[in-house]
Amino acid sequence: MVGKVLNSVGGLSYVAACNQHTNIGTGDIATTIGGNLPCHYVIHAVCCGWNAGGTAEQTLRSLLLKILLDCNQLSARSVAMPLIGTGKHKFPEDVVLCVMKEEFEKFSSRYPQGTLKEIKLVRYDQGISRKTVQTQATSGSTTPRFKPTFVPLVASSSIESVKLYVYARSSDAITSALVDIERFIKKNVTSKKVEHEKLFDVVLKHWDELKSLAKDGNLRITCVNETTVSIEGLSSKVLEAKEKLTEMVSRHTDEERRSHQLSYISQNVQWYYSDHSSREMAYSAQLNGTIEVARMIGEAMVEITESDGQQYNVNFAQMVARNKSTGQTRKLSRKQIGSGTGLELSLPSNWTPQPASKVVELVRVAPTSSEYLTVCRDFVARGGRADQLYSVERMQNPQLHSMYLAFKKSMRGQSNEMRLFHGTDAANVDSINAHNFSRSFAGVNGVAYGNGVYFARDASYSINYARKRHLGSRPKMYMAKVLVGEYTRGAPGLKAPPSKNDPNNPGLRYDSVVDHPSNPSMYIIFQDNQYYPEYLLTLQY
């Protein structure tokens, strides 16, 4: 992981230097130039495997001394290193920290006139989160000082600076020219920041793309810390790069939320495939959720990609997965986790039983039932009239409802669920019942607050958008369950809710936008499955 990133960032000169040191012995080091990395040199060290009570600890001590001596020989003032041996070599972290502390103190006492003044230890956690500690290696220091730090990642064009020589007949003319140049630079060159709590993950995932952006736009893109990226260069190119990075962050957020939803689905159902020995092997939570969602929405087939890159077509009718490259098939099986019927356990208690093969069931609610009276009361309380209701139908779509519940759980208690109204053309009803509201219809009835799905607090407002399918038919509208979460004011052109600008959670977005935050009457949602069309209301007027 680390070597791959270093090669990617270091560039051709760094990789060429590394290729000259392909056989470093255990307990030995080799030093190369830093290339495009934000350092002058890279020291490559090879550790041994851990063996408690054996020679592993002494090998580590010897390795650390070689590194520190090499730093002095290079006249380095600072060095950053990982907790050597704690990865694949299985050294206990507490042992490594203790050994490092002792060796650093010994070196500081033994070489008080050395150039090395600062040592940064970088600790890599699972999930690519990075924590670092820093200690001083100065003369007379017996107690290391620790504080958070971060080694920046930098992508830039091959030409980072240009020298300008100004010739003129007088010093005043030169001064005037320099002032004009400074004014031009200030007008045309800028720096912008992008912030998000998971920005470092996004940077690592799209590093090659960011390097191309920097090269093509003559930009300097710096991952300053785990949550901040700085972009410097010509104003127009900086804005383009910022927009692209923001899109990357939005995609990452969507993928992460979808991952949470798939994990929730996987708590109820597990898919298996039979290997060459006919053993049942469980799919990962991600693939398991992908397969189950496809089954839930009635797909005949879904394509999946396994961790080794092999692609399979899952055929639900035949219950097999076929390798797209080799044509080989695997038998599949689906099992409920726990008792009952899995996800269907979470369906509302007032739903009428329906065949498992039926995707959608519209159940007419009796006008004398308490359920009808509740819907009618909400309709009237929000500006409608009881005599405008011709019928109320409960929309039963187990697949959509289960995905709505998964989304609700992914919001971790901050869902702020509301019942809101949505008027539509009656021609859209079948599509909505089967596939939910679509953001692709954004703009049909206006986009004053963003390009999302619009829901109204007041039934009287949505009635205006309830249209008949044809002459003699009746207009339709929905009462929907909507997870509005935390919201802010919308704006034209929004494709996602804006950032909260929370210093404790950089890049965290609102869940929805509204027309007037102090007293909302309109809610705009940008995420699929953040809403569920609970009741279809047929109107008469």
Whether 130 has a pLDDT exceeding 70, the answer reads no
Does some domain include residue 260? no
How far is residue 316 CA from its own chain's centroid?
A: 30
Give the pLDDT score at 259. Answer: 74
Average pLDDT of the chain, as a whole number: 84
Domain C-terminal end among 122, 141, 168: 122
The enclosing domain of 64 has a CATH number of: 3.40.220.10
Count other Cβ atoms within 10 Å, centred on residue 76: 19
Region 421-450: mean pLDDT is 81
Does some domain include residue 214? yes
Does some domain include residue 354? no
Pairing state of beta strands 118-124 and 78-82? parallel
The CA-CA-CA angle for residues 493, 496, 499, to 5°, reads 110
The enclosing domain of 507 has a CATH number of: 3.90.228.10
Q: Quick one: 504 and 463 in the same domain?
A: yes
Q: Quick one: 315 and 370 in the same domain?
A: no
Q: Residue 173's pLDDT band (boundaries 50, 70, 90)?
A: very high
**Residues 454-497: pLDDT tens digits?**
999 999 999 999 988 777 689 999 999 999 999 999 998 888 88
Domain containing 28 equals 1-122
The enclosing domain of 298 has a CATH number of: 3.30.720.50
Least confident of 105-109, 345-349, 401-405: 345-349
Q: Quick one: 317 and 414 in the same domain?
A: no
pTM: 0.50
* Number of domains composing the chain: 4
Residue environment code for 279-310, b if the CB has 16+ CB neighbours within 10 A, otherwise e: eeeebebebbbbbbbbbbbeeeebebeeeeee
Q: Residue 366's pLDDT band (boundaries 50, 70, 90)?
A: very high
Region 196-211: mean pLDDT is 84
Q: Residue 16's pLDDT band (boundaries 50, 70, 90)?
A: confident
Whether 61 has a pLDDT exceeding 60, the answer reads yes
Least confident of 205-214, 316-325, 415-424: 205-214
Residue at 102: amino acid letter: E
Q: Residue 322's pLDDT band (boundaries 50, 70, 90)?
A: very high
Structure tokens at 412: 């971790």
Give the pLDDT score at 456. Answer: 96
Region 382-387: mean pLDDT is 93
Region 189-215: mean pLDDT is 86
Give the pLDDT score at 289. Answer: 82
DSSP string, 202-267: HHHHTHHHHHHHHHHHT-EEEEEETTEEEEEEEHHHHHHHHHHHHHHHHHHHHHHHHHHHHHHHHT
Q: Quick one: 283 and 332 in the same domain?
A: yes
Whether 108 has a pLDDT exceeding 90, the answer reads no
Count other Cβ atoms within 10 Å, centred on residue 422: 22
Q: Quick one: 245 and 272 in the same domain?
A: no
Does some domain include residue 143? no
The enclosing domain of 159 has a CATH number of: 3.30.1370.10
Exposed/middle/buried for 116, CB within 10 Å: 0-12, 13-18, 19+? buried
**Residues 513-532: pLDDT tens digits?**
999 999 999 999 998 889 99
Least confident of 218-222, 272-276, 351-355, 446-450: 446-450
Give the pLDDT score at 93. Answer: 86
Q: Quick one: 292 and 225 in the same domain?
A: no
Q: Quick one: 172 and 115 in the same domain?
A: no
Packing angle between helix 398-410 and helix 235-266, nearest 10 degrees?
120
Region 301-317: mean pLDDT is 90
Does some domain include residue 353? no
Nearest residue to 362 (alpha-carbon basis) of 389, 392, 332: 392
Rounded Cα distance between 487 and 496, Å, is: 12
> Higher pLDDT residue, 150 or 361?
361
Alpha helix (H) residue ranges in 74-151: 93-110
Could you list the beta-strand ranges (E) of 244-397.
Answer: 269-274, 280-282, 301-305, 311-315, 320-323, 329-336, 361-364, 389-396
Least confident of 55-59, 157-161, 417-421: 157-161
Region 5-34: mean pLDDT is 87
